[in-house]
């Protein structure tokens, strides 16, 4: 029915003179075309549009009609319509003589807007099935765009320079949009034989090739991105860059450095630290996102940069650049909040690798930053272990002013204390407390009061008042509280078993979620075990302090 209606409208319009053809006639054609799509007569619609006899209107009006037909569908129908209408759309645009750049830009923007609604296939299997047709559309879109890229290349010496520049700008916008969607969230296969069959990798390679072809090679863009002097000639691009291009530029950096697409275009003289410097801003962009497929690229890009750098060679001055501190803080967020274990572990490994690359002052600065900002006991314990390692290197090999004497004491002030004194939640902070005690135990053993290389013995009174004594008090309070809870739980368990209900226990002002009594008892006993462990290490530290302060240096040899 819809096809017959469309053919009837076409026949009526064919006998009209061009001056008698009204906007309402074209509106009827569009409505009938949409009905054909809705009823599944897509191939018949395409045949009618491509038929040279059906000159319903001028190319401009037909362009708008085709774009409206492309905008209408949803779901899986989006790719079907795009794949059918791309060729006639390209033919119509190529017949335009005026404002061609505007028409190309309008078409590419419409096509991209529709493609951005399609889910990006994540796994290799999803790409092979390509249920929503995104991969097919990306391949077809390259074929659609190539003639216009070639037109820019061939018309560089043409008298219509202004129109050529406008066309170049429209193509540049499309490339940036494509780098953001679908390429920002797309996952890529390992660089192998299979990589050549990856449709999204091929799409990425073509987009980067387009950039170079129209006069914007990626080395120029990624090196200039973020500088006061912009790469772009038009104010519109400056505004666009500030708002939208950060994701696109990060995506481009990942494709080049991690996936190795067109990496041979990079100058060979660039130092590893310089490459890391401009990539840190892109890594920061990735780590600010919440999608696993995106922030994992930031971790990969960081690894790529760090592996090029020798240990202890990254100068502390780099930490004056904002991203060199925000990136490790971003890694901490992944380590503590990401639900995927492999990503948490990799982020931890990257943080350790980053620490290894920094010089001594850089390590010191980063440790202070993360101790003040992480707000996570496990992360703080990790940092404290790293501090211990640096002190050990300094005492065993060469003297390092950042991990001995006054500088170290300033750092220990952030480690050997309880945030809320005796009221500190010892269970929640147990990892940090155990790491702090182990560090203190190490210092007491390795540094004699006479040598006092670390400055520990000068500050011992402050450490006892700020850390050891409040910890004693806190342990006594916590153990008493949990022992009382265990007693109450045991007394109530008989009643609970009779009623077959769940019970709850309040610990540290917070209620443990309802669970069977035996499970609650396990939780409470586990907490007591943690307190006992802390108490045993604390007792050993105090014992060592007493031995070292009352003995001669010869008598302390062999103490552990």
Domain for residue 442, yes or no?
yes
Check residues 339 and 552 and name the one with the higher pLDDT: 339
Helices (H), 181-245: 199-213, 218-224, 235-240
Residues 193-220 have pLDDT tens digits of: 555 678 999 999 999 999 999 988 877 7
Residue 252: which of 339, 180, 159 has the closest Cα?
180
Domain for residue 528, yes or no?
yes
Residue 511 pairs in a beta bridge with 506
Check residues 212 and 364 and name the one with the higher pLDDT: 364
Give the per-residue pLDDT at 41. 66
Residues 444-465 have pLDDT tens digits of: 999 988 889 999 999 999 999 9
Domain for residue 541, yes or no?
yes
**Buried residues in 198-230 as b, exposed as e (16+ CB within 10 A):** bbbbbbbbbbbbbbebbebebeebbeebeeeee
- Cβ neighbours of 132 (radius 10 Å): 21
Domain for residue 2, yes or no?
no
Say if residues 542 and 468 touch (Cβ distance below 8 Å).
yes
pLDDT-derived band at 469, boundaries 50, 70, 90:
very high
Check residues 18 and 450 and name the one with the higher pLDDT: 450
Domain for residue 111, yes or no?
no
CA–CA distance, 267 with 216 (Å, rounded to integer):
15
Give the per-residue pLDDT at 524. 82
Query: Could you give the angle at the alpha carbon of 26 between the alpha carbons of 22 and 31, nearest 5°?
Result: 140
Which run of H or E residues covers position 515?
strand 510-515
Query: At residue 221, does pLDDT exceed 90?
Result: no
Query: At residue 369, does pLDDT exceed 90?
Result: yes
Domain for residue 74, yes or no?
no
Q: Among 191-205, 417-431, 471-485, 524-538, where is mean pLDDT lowest?
A: 191-205
pLDDT-derived band at 491, boundaries 50, 70, 90:
low
Q: How many CA atoms lie within 13 A of 45 on its CB side?
A: 26
Q: Among 31-45, 69-83, 170-184, where is mean pLDDT lowest?
A: 31-45
Residue 54: which of 107, 8, 2, 1 has the closest Cα?
8
Residue 254: which of 185, 319, 337 has the closest Cα?
185
Residues 68-115 have pLDDT tens digits of: 889 988 899 999 999 989 998 998 898 887 888 999 999 999 999 999
Structure tokens at 325: 């501190």
Check residues 523 and 142 and name the one with the higher pLDDT: 142
Domain count for the chain: 1
Query: At residue 493, does pLDDT exceed 80?
Result: no
Domain that holds residue 481: 394-556
Query: At residue 235, does pLDDT exceed 50?
Result: no
What integer is the mean pLDDT of 534-559?
Answer: 80
Give the per-residue pLDDT at 552. 54
**SS3 at position 371:** helix
Query: At residue 514, does pLDDT exceed 70?
Result: no
| CB-count exposure of residue 481 (10 Å: 0-12, 13-18, 19+) | middle
Give the per-residue pLDDT at 399. 79
Give the per-residue pLDDT at 506. 56
Residues 259-313 have pLDDT tens digits of: 999 988 888 788 999 999 989 999 999 999 999 999 999 999 999 999 999 999 9
> ω into residue 188 within 30 of 0, thus cis?
no
Q: Among 8-22, 131-145, 236-250, 277-291, where is mean pLDDT lowest?
A: 8-22
Q: What are the backbone angles phi and psi of residue 314, rounded to the nearest 5°?
A: -80, 115
pLDDT-derived band at 337, boundaries 50, 70, 90:
very high
Give the per-residue pLDDT at 83. 93
Q: What does pLDDT average to over the chain?
A: 84
Give the per-residue pLDDT at 466. 93
Highest mean pLDDT among 82-96, 373-387, 395-409: 373-387
pLDDT-derived band at 49, boundaries 50, 70, 90:
low
Check residues 225 and 445 and name the one with the higher pLDDT: 445
| CB-count exposure of residue 125 (10 Å: 0-12, 13-18, 19+) | exposed
Give the per-residue pLDDT at 228. 43
């Amino acid at each position: 029915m819809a096809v017959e209606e469309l053919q009837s409208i076409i026949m009526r319009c064919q006998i009209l003179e061009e001056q008698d053809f009204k906007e309402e006639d074209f509106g009827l054609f569009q409505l009938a075309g949409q009905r054909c799509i809705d009823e599944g007569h897509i191939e018949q619609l395409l045949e009618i549009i491509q038929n040279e006899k059906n000159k319903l209107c001028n190319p401009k009006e037909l362009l708008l009609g085709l774009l409206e037909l492309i905008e209408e569908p949803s779901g899986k129908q989006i790719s079907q319509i795009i794949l059918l209408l791309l060729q006639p759309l390209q033919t119509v645009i190529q017949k335009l003589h005026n404002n061609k750049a505007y028409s190309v830009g309008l078409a590419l923007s419409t096509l991209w807007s529709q493609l951005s609604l399609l889910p990006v296939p994540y796994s290799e299997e999803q790409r092979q099935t390509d249920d929503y047709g995104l991969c097919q559309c990306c391949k077809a879109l390259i074929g659609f765009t190539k003639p216009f890229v070639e037109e820019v290349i061939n018309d560089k010496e043409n008298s219509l320079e202004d129109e050529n520049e406008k066309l170049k700008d429209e193509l540049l916008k499309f490339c940036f949009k494509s780098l953001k969607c679908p390429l920002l969230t797309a996952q890529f296969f390992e660089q192998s034989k299979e990589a050549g069959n990856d449709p999204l990798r091929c799409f990425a390679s073509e987009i980067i090739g387009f950039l170079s072809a129209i006069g914007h090679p990626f080395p120029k863009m990624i090196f200039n991105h973020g500088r006061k002097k912009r790469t772009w000639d038009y104010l519109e691009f400056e505004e666009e860059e500030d708002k939208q291009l950060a994701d696109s530029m990060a995506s481009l950096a990942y494709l080049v450095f991690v996936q190795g697409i067109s990496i041979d275009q990079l100058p060979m003289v660039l130092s590893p630290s310089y490459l890391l410097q401009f990539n840190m801003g892109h890594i920061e962009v990735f780590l600010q996102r919440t999608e696993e497929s995106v922030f994992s690229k930031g971790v990969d890009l960081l690894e790529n940069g760090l592996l090029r750098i020798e240990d202890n060679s990254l100068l502390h001055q780099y930490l004056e650049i904002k991203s060199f501190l925000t990136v490790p803080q971003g890694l901490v967020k992944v380590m503590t909040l990401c639900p995927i274990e492999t990503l948490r572990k990799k982020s931890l490994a990257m943080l350790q690798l980053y620490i290894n690359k920094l010089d001594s002052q850089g390590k010191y600065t980063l440790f202070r930053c993360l101790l003040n900002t992480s707000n996570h006991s496990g992360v703080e314990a990790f940092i404290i272990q790293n501090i211990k390692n640096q002190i050990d290197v300094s005492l065993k090999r060469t003297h390092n002013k950042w991990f001995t004497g006054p500088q170290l004491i300033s750092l220990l002030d952030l480690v050997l204390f309880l945030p809320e004194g005796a009221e500190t939640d010892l269970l929640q902070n147990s990892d940090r407390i155990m790491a702090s005690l182990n560090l203190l135990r190490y210092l007491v053993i390795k540094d004699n009061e006479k040598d006092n290389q670390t400055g520990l013995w000068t500050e011992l009174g402050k450490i006892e008042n700020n850390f050891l004594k409040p910890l004693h008090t806190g342990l006594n309070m916590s153990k008493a509280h949990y022992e009382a809870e265990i007693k109450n739980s045991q007394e109530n368990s008989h009643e609970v078993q009779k009623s077959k209900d769940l019970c709850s226990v309040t610990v540290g002002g917070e209620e443990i979620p309802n669970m069977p009594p035996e499970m609650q008892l396990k939780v409470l006993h586990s907490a007591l075990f943690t307190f006992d462990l802390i108490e045993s290490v604390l007792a050993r530290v105090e014992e060592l302090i007493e031995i070292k302060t009352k003995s001669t240096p010869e008598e302390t040899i062999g103490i552990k």
